[in-house]
Amino acid sequence: MTARARITAPPSQSSTRLMAQIGYEFKNPDLLAQALIHASAVGRHDRGNERLEFLGDRVLGLVIAETLFGARNEAEGDLARRLAHLVKRDALADIAKKLHLGDYLTFAKNDQKDVHRLNANILADALEAVIAALYLDGGLEPARSFIQRFWADLLKPGSAPPTDNKTKLQEWALARGLPLPAYTVVAQDGPPHAPVFDVAVHIEGFGDARGTAPPKKPPNKELLKPC
């Protein structure tokens, strides 16, 4: 069952333009407006588009997984790698840029709006919020149509399953008869809801390498052992 709130105001000109780009006319334009509000622009008891972003992430994952399952006769591991590649932050940010989504976002008055409009995390979150707004306004079909349209190039058949850097490193070590890489969390920064991890990786016979990144999902505690 989808939630449909009563329309409280007609869509603005900017919302009308965005709806034309999306290819869907909202029955409740307030849902789309909410999807475009960054948390910085609202009070402490209203987190802007964050709740919609949470829902949109799940709707996107479902539609991409459903599409991959129907289109490719591949093992679970290959499908999982394709799914992770298609829902990653950079892929979402690129699609958001094609929609010029940053031009429609609302930020706090004293925020650096021009910087935020180019931020990949903010753009990816806003795109997920828009997907949730589509789902709440019209059900799964409008959300599915939007995703299959804007992910069409990424979903084209013929490509090999993507391999993440961690898997590549494991395969490199195993091919040389080396133990699997060992990972250690060196430091953690950022707020609890968006941590950034500084991680060191060690392969026997080689020096340590380090990298920093925000995880899409919580870190695997079995692999990442605090110092």
| pLDDT tens-digit series, residues 49-88 | 999 999 999 999 999 999 999 988 888 888 888 898 899 9
Q: Token pair of 24, please?
A: 């869907």
The confidence score (pLDDT) of residue 16 equals: 87
Q: Considering 30, 50, 53, 57, which one is annotated as catalytic?
A: 57
Residues above pLDDT 90, as percent of the chain: 37
Is the pLDDT score of 25 beyond 50?
yes
The confidence score (pLDDT) of residue 214 equals: 66
Give mean pLDDT, residues 91-100.
94
Residue 212 in 3-state DSSP?
strand
CB atoms within 10 A of CB 8: 9
Pick from 43-52, 70-79, 212-221 the range whose average pLDDT is largest. 70-79
Using the structure block, give the residue that is written with the tokens 């429609």.
104
The sheet with strand 209-213 has its strands ordered as 182-189, 196-202, 209-213
Tens digit of each residue's pLDDT (9 = 90 or more) over 118-165: 788 889 999 999 999 999 999 999 999 999 999 998 888 766 666 667
CA distance 191 to 195: 6
Pick from 2-6, 120-124, 209-213 the range whose average pLDDT is largest. 120-124
For the chain, residues classed under CATH 3.30.160.20 are 165-213
The confidence score (pLDDT) of residue 94 equals: 94
For the chain, residues classed under CATH 1.10.1520.10 are 13-150
Decide: 214 and 119 in contact? Cβ < 8 Å.
no
Q: Is 57 a catalytic residue?
A: yes
The CATH superfamily label for domain 13-150 reads: Ribonuclease III domain (1.10.1520.10)
Q: Is 128 a catalytic residue?
A: yes
Q: Is the pTM of this model over 0.75?
A: no
The confidence score (pLDDT) of residue 114 equals: 61
Decide: 178 and 158 in contact? Cβ < 8 Å.
no
Q: Name the architecture of domain 165-213.
A: 2-Layer Sandwich (3.30)
Q: How far apart are the first and last CA of the chain?
A: 47
Q: Considering 53, 125, 128, 137, which one is annotated as catalytic?
A: 128
3-state per-residue secondary structure call for 134-197: HHHHHCHHHHHHHHHHHCCCCCCCCCCCCCCHHHHHHHHHHHCCCCCCEEEEEEEECCCCCCEE
